[in-house]
Amino acid sequence: MKPLLRRYAAVLVATVVFLAFLVLLPGYQGKALEILSFQTRTLLLVIPPIFVLLGLLDVWVPREKMIRFMGPGSGTKGITLAFLLGSFAAGPLYGAFPVAAVLMKKGASFPNILIFIGAWSTTKIPMLLFESSALGVRFTLARLAIDIVGIVVIAMAMMALLPKAEVEELYRQAEKIG
């Protein structure tokens, strides 16, 4: 564990920048603080259940089971499961990363992890309903169709472009932080 001060160095820098922004551009003060409090509330609201579920997943789902369902060689079953897990998720994309780390730790394959993140970002079902009422069914379905293709294409491109050793290193890292 790194010393506390070093871990929070970036937070300190960001805070100083934020304070400087407030002082130098007083016109934005009210808005910046309002957005900061809104985002903080969203984070505090969404994050606790995600991490509780993560902890439970970590303790209760055996590695062998995860490998069978989402590991290398899980094929269409793994891809479908990755899509479903991401689509039924709630919360902003940043909630997906810690979940992905635990899935990696449990042995889900890297393409499936990428599909999971892609699904979390674009095919979340509650959001789709909301989107179609705001922007129209045609808009939403057209976007959904191309994004499903895109998620798979991006996952394949990442697999082709990332060196194998790098992916293995990410798995070792997930072991530590998950």
Partner 1 sequence: MDTFILYLVAAVCLVWSFVKSREKTRIALKKAWKSFENILPQFLVVLILVALCLSVLDTETISLFLGKNSGVWGVLAASLVGAITLIPGFVAFPAAAALMQGGAGVVQIAAFVSSLMMVGVVTLPLEIQYFGRRAALLRNLLAYIFSLVAAVWVGWVVGL
Q: Which of residues 157-176 bind partner 1 (CB under 8 A)?
A: 157-158, 161-162, 166-167, 169-170, 173-174
Distance CA 31, CA 77 (A): 46
| Cα radius of gyration rounded to whole Å, the chain | 19
Least Å from the CB of residue 160 to partner 1? 11
Nearer to partner 1, 18 or 65 (CB): 18
Helix boundaries (H) for 62-162 = 63-70, 75-87, 96-105, 110-122, 125-135, 137-161
Nearer to partner 1, 71 or 178 (CB): 178
Least Å from the CB of residue 62 to partner 1? 12
Three-state secondary-structure class, residue 107:
coil
Contact assessment for residue 67 and residue 107, using Cβ atoms and an 8 Å cutoff? yes
Least Å from the CB of residue 178 to partner 1? 6
Residues touching partner 1, count (CB under 8 A): 78
Distance CA 142, CA 43 (A): 30
Contacting residue, 77, 93, 168, 175, with partner 1 by CB under 8 A: 93
Applying the rule CB under 8 A, the residues between 118 and 137 that interact with partner 1 are: 118, 121-122, 124, 126-127, 130-131, 134-136
Span from 62-70, 71-79, 93-101 in contact with partner 1 (CB under 8 A): 93-101
Applying the rule CB under 8 A, the residues between 5 and 64 that interact with partner 1 are: 7-8, 10-11, 14-15, 17-18, 21, 28, 31-33, 35-36, 39-40, 42-43, 45-56, 58-60
Residues 6+ apart with CB under 8 A from 48: none
What does the block give as tokens for 4?
């506390």
Written as one letter, the residue type at 8 is Y
What does the block give as tokens for 165?
């050793």
Nearer to partner 1, 78 or 86 (CB): 86
